[in-house]
Amino acid sequence: MAPKTIEERLQHMEDIHEIQQLMGRYPYYVMMMDYAGMNENLFAKKNPGVKVHLGSIGYWQGTDAPERSTAAIGGHGTPQDKTGRMTIHAPICPVIEVAGDGKTAKGIWIGLGLLAMKNDKGEPTGAWEFDKYGVDFIKEDGHWKIWHHHIYDLLKGWNVDEKWADMFKKPRHVGAGIQPDGPTFDHNPYSPTTLLTNAPKPPEPYETWSDTISY
């Protein structure tokens, strides 16, 4: 890459700041279960390559992928459905790389999750949910938007009263009739019997977009 001018370096810093702000808003939408607001304000709308990948479940693709994926996990219920529920996902440890041409960017975060909900009997319970986020970003009308959002499961503990090391065995189910467009990949959550891999790897500097580097 050619040496950057002062103006290019300043733009690079502003791009990283805007991306951090964008991902910083993500957990606040999730906490309030305002998935409609999240999908409308954070995700790209003009690129058909939008993709949302939810851990072990699989992925949805297309400009309506955010809406279809959140509907699949019950994200569009009534206020009554959401009463007694709380979802906290705190993305930490960001590593962000903006392309040399300034048109796309990549970033990863570790997501620390705590959930409160009701079980099938209507009793309060909780869960642990730890992930990695691998996210590709694209500029639309001069602003950064989420292009590919890939959640990589690290640990899904669906009952805080159980041993967390045993709970990785339990699959997550989607709503009837709302199936993903494709299967999971690069999925390697914690297990007492397997070696944890470094997926996704932190992004490396790159000049221009290539599908081979997509999360």
Percent of the chain, pLDDT > 70?
A: 86
Q: CB within 8 A of 63, min separation 6: which ones?
A: 44, 45, 46, 47, 48, 50
3 state SS of 107: strand
Average pLDDT over residues 67-82: 74
Q: Which residue has 């691998």 as its token pair? A: 134
Q: Are 138 and 47 in contact (CB under 8 A)?
A: yes
**Tokens (6 digits) for 83:** 């009463």
Burial of 125 (0-12, 13-18, 19+ CB in 10 A): middle
Percent of the chain, pLDDT > 90?
A: 59
pLDDT at 58: 94
Check the CA dihedral 109-110-114-120 and report its sign.
positive
Domain at 6-213, CATH class: alpha beta
Q: Where are the domains of the chain?
A: 6-213
Average pLDDT over residues 41-69: 94
**Which of residues 82 and 97 earns the better pLDDT score?**
97
pLDDT at 212: 94
Q: Are 65 and 50 in contact (CB under 8 A)?
A: yes
User: Is the link from the previous residue into 66 a cis peptide, with omega within 30 of 0?
Assistant: no
Identity of the residue numbered 147: W
pLDDT at 101: 95
| CB contact burial 70-109 (16+ within 10 A = b; e otherwise) | bbbeebeeeeeebeeeebebebeebebbbbeeeebbbbbb
pLDDT at 83: 82
- Can you give the pTM of this predicted structure? 0.89
